[in-house]
A and B are shown apart, each in its own frame.
Chain A
Amino acid sequence: MKHTHTKIHIHTLSCGKVYEHLCDNIDSKLDSESCRRIKAHIKGCTNCSALLDSLKKTVYLYKKYPAPKLPEQSRKKLFAVIHLEKTKKRSAR
């Protein structure tokens, strides 16, 4: 089977090490030495870069997921309950 992962060793980091930090660095703009090494590895590694890309897309999709508006009825119901609570508090005094 063809090994698609030949560039890992050039950057001295293993995929396992990158995998461990992949999520911390998903959108990181940090410029530390370890961050630079992780970025260099990802750039040269097909698997890690596909994984990172798909993780970014996963987060993006959930961010884009449309949420419904707060129903007006819900707000009205809340204030009705609060009003009851206040009345109970007053009569308990």
Chain B
Amino acid sequence: MTQTLEPYTDSALIAKVKKGDERAFAQLVKRYEQTVWGFAFKLCRNQEKAEESFQDTFINVFRKIDQFDARSKFSTWLYTIVANNCLMHHRKRKLEGLLESLDDAPDPENPEVQKQLAAWDDSPIDTMMNKELREQMDAAIQELPDEYKVVFVLRDLEDKTAEETAKILKLSVPAVKSRLRRSRIFLRHKLHGIMAA
């Protein structure tokens, strides 16, 4: 009877993969495919690109498994590979100036700012998710430079801590916090038109 590999820890599976065990690799893929797919899709916002990233990530894992030294968690390594794939594939956009300007606190006496700070619709938020809003959300997140988007996705959508995010992206914790703040405010501003009461 074939022994199930499900109870094996990541380290035990990785040790087997390093020795060329194909079943152990398949088990690792099974264990992490949704994580990699979900993260790739949230970053790419495009099924075709997410599939490409999914393939590239696991092929990289297969090719470079000997380089994984187990000092960090396997999932951290996986997130780093997906993020690097995403950052490599996309061109840099010049929104840095705009994002930096979001550091300035809004002047509440400025009528334009008051319009921007108007409270959002109080309707139950789950009932508001429609095609128009989804399109707006897609457009907004696509406008964010990848270096910011990846921080927003890791911190807010994948629920990683600032420290974990910093480790995955090889950034300092203050850099993670600053990029997260700018990303959230940028996205909030982009959705304001459709969400304001």
A47 at the interface (CB under 8 A from B): yes
| Contact status A58-B187, CB under 8 Å | yes
Smallest Cβ distance from A12 to chain B, in angstroms? Answer: 16
Residues of A within 8 A of B (CB): 1, 3-5, 14-16, 19-20, 22-24, 26, 47, 50-51, 53-55, 57-65, 67-68, 70-71, 74-75, 77-79, 81-82, 85-86
Partner of A58, one of B33, B38, B128, B188: B188
| Contact status A47-B187, CB under 8 Å | no
Bound complex: CA of A81 vs CA of B156, how far in Å? 33
Q: Which of chain B's residues has its CB closest to A81's CB?
A: B59
Bound complex: CA of A81 vs CA of B22, how far in Å? 13
| Contact status A68-B41, CB under 8 Å | yes
**Chain A residues with CB under 8 A of B22:** 82, 86
B79 at the interface (CB under 8 A from A): no
Known: A23-B177, A62-B156, A70-B54. 15 other contacts (CB 8 A): A1-B111, A19-B105, A22-B181, A23-B185, A50-B119, A54-B119, A57-B120, A61-B133, A62-B187, A63-B157, A65-B129, A65-B134, A67-B42, A75-B29, A78-B54
Bound complex: CA of A81 vs CA of B63, how far in Å? 12
Beta-carbon contacts of B22-63 to A below 8 Å, as 1s and 0s? 100110010001100110011000010001001100110011
Interface of B (DSSP majority class): helix
**Chain B residues with CB under 8 A of A19:** 105-106
Smallest Cβ distance from B5 to chain A, in angstroms? Answer: 15
**Chain A residues with CB under 8 A of B191:** 58, 61
| Known interface pairs A61-B137, A64-B126, A82-B59; A55-B184 also in contact (CB < 8 Å) | yes
